Structure 1
Amino acid sequence: MSSTSSTPGFLRQSRWNPYVVGAAIGVLSWAVFALVDKPLGVTTSLTGLAGACAAPFIGADTVAANTYFKSHVFKWDYGMLFLGGIALGGFLSAVVSGSFRAETVPLVWRERFGSSAPKRFAAAFLGGILAMFGARLADGCTSGNGISGSLQLAVGGWTFFLTLFAAGIVTSLVLFGSSRSANP
């Protein structure tokens, strides 16, 4: 018997119902608040990890002297476990659903911008830098500022979500136009 046949059917789906997922994230947020008394969030841990990764290249003293890295020191805590869990969970989900594939230039990118892998990597790297800079500037990422903030009915959390969705829509229209089909 293969491991896939013993896996519940909903885990093998490549796309889940967004309402069910949203409710599950809400329950997860409640559980995290109850168990560790902290909101969901990963950018603080990612910043600490970046400092730890930078230390061998620029020196531990340089990292320790940096005001930003000093306030976001690497530590094994709930946030780091959550960050690792996101990566591992995403990978396992793709494998179990059968949607995992290694590709350097995804089809949707290739259709719009061509098949240049260096161009795709440069755009992804720049996008990652901008997203991380924005998350740290806003003092929270999608999970920390958006999900946890909006669950607490914080004006900043709701402002973040509204801005995030508006920017996502505008970016999609600029990059892909309005003629792109909703089905990949």
Structure 2
Amino acid sequence: MDPTPYIAGVGIGIISWFAFLLSDRPLGCSTAYARTSGMIEAAIRGDAARERPYYRKFAPQIDWEWMLVLGVVIGAFVTAVVTGEFALIWVPSRFAAAFGPDIPFRLVVAIIGGVLMGIGSRWAGGCTSGHGISGTLQLAISSWVAVIIFFVSGIVCAFLIYGVGP
């Protein structure tokens, strides 16, 4: 049994406590992606981007949530290297078995999925980690409903896409 997911779960729980204790804010990362898009738009359009109502509320800047995302990426990389599981895989084997080994198609699917996740997280007022970790930790009914829908949707999609099921 690989203890890594359990160690990560305990770590996320402890980080959640510290986030509330030190900043009185829930743990989440979808706003970091919205801020990044604002930084990209500000680099192209200048201050006109910062005047958008959304970016007045969520300033396009590097903040603690942005650093959290960076930490997740670095932590995942270090864990993969330390456990000897690091590998560059452009098309996962399960995806290739279902849809073929075409790298451009895989990238298009990943980009479309990422965009839809981003839109959904902004629409829902938080991402899966924000609702699933912080929201449920606060016993927010909306987050519990969201998490149940995440899991049910994921299971249904796995059945439909990969033909897995009873």
Deviation at 1:93, TM superposition (A): 1.2
In structure 2, how many angstroms separate the alpha carbons of the residues matched to 1:147 and 1:98?
Answer: 28
Deviation at 1:91, TM superposition (A): 1.3
CA contact (8 A) 1:39 1:144 kept: yes
- Per-residue CA deviations over 1:13-34 (Å, capped at 9, x if unaligned) read 8x43655543432222112211
User: Which one-letter code corresponds to 1:131 in the other structure?
Assistant: M
Aligned match for 1:170, one of 156, 159, 162: 156
| 1:40 is the counterpart of 2:21 | no
1:29 maps to which residue? 16
Q: Identity over the aligned pairs, expressed in percent?
A: 36
1:7 maps to which residue? none
| 1:60 is the counterpart of 2:60 | no
The normalised TM-score by structure 2 is 0.90
Deviation at 1:62, TM superposition (A): 3.7
Question: Unaligned stretches of 5+ in structure 1?
Answer: 1-12
Aligned match for 1:113, one of 99, 106, 113: 99
In structure 2, how many angstroms separate the alpha carbons of the residues matched to 1:105 and 1:18?
Answer: 23
Please say which structure displays the higher CA radius of gyration. 1
1:3 maps to which residue? none
- Per-residue CA deviations over 1:98-150 (Å, capped at 9, x if unaligned) read 11111221111111100111110000000000111111100011121221010
The normalised TM-score by structure 1 is 0.82
| 1:156 is the counterpart of 2:146 | no
More helix by share: 2
Q: What is the SS of the residue equivalent to 2:28? A: coil
Deviation at 1:76, TM superposition (A): 3.1
In structure 2, how many angstroms separate the alpha carbons of the residues matched to 1:79 and 1:19?
Answer: 23
User: Which one-letter code corresponds to 1:29 in the other structure?
Assistant: S
2:130 maps to which residue? 144
Bigger Cα displacement from structure 2, 117-126 vs 30-39 = 30-39
In structure 1, how many angstroms separate the alpha carbons of the residues matched to 2:60 and 2:47?
Answer: 14
Q: What is the SS of the residue equivalent to 2:79? A: helix
Q: How many residues align?
A: 166
Change (3 A) 1:162 1:72: same
User: Which one-letter code corresponds to 2:74 in the other structure?
Assistant: L
1:70 maps to which residue? 56
Deviation at 1:77, TM superposition (A): 2.5
In structure 1, how many angstroms separate the alpha carbons of the residues matched to 2:132 and 2:8?
Answer: 15
Question: Unaligned stretches of 5+ in structure 2?
Answer: none
